[in-house]
Amino acid sequence: MVSKTRDKFIEVARQLFARKGVENTTMNDIASASDKGRRTIYTYFKNKRDIYNAVVESESDKLLMNLRLIVAKRIPAEEKLKEYVACRFETMREIVSRNGTLRAGFFRDLRKVDRARKHISKKEMAMLREILEEGQLNGEFEIPDLVHTAVIITHTIQGLDVTYIRDSLSDKGIDQEMLAEYFSRMLLHGILKR
Q: 33-45: b or e for each residue (b if 16 or more CB lie within 10 Å)?
A: bbebeeeebeebb
Mean pLDDT of 172-187: 90
CATH architecture of the domain with range 53-189 = Orthogonal Bundle (1.10)
- Sign of the torsion angle spanned by Cα atoms 132, 133, 139, 143: positive
Which comes out higher in pLDDT, residue 11 or 22? 11
Least confident range of 4-18, 25-39, 110-124, 179-193:
110-124
Mean pLDDT of 116-138: 91
CA distance 122 to 107: 21
pTM listed for this prediction: 0.84
Domain ranges within the chain, ordered by starting residue: 53-189
Please write the tens of the pLDDT for every residue from 51-104: 988 998 898 899 999 999 999 999 999 999 999 999 999 998 888 888 765 555
Burial class (CB in 10 A: 0-12, 13-18, 19+), 111: exposed
- Give the Å distances, CA to CA, from 60 to 65, 94, 124, 180: 9, 12, 11, 20
| Contact criterion met (CB below 8 Å) for 41 and 30 | yes
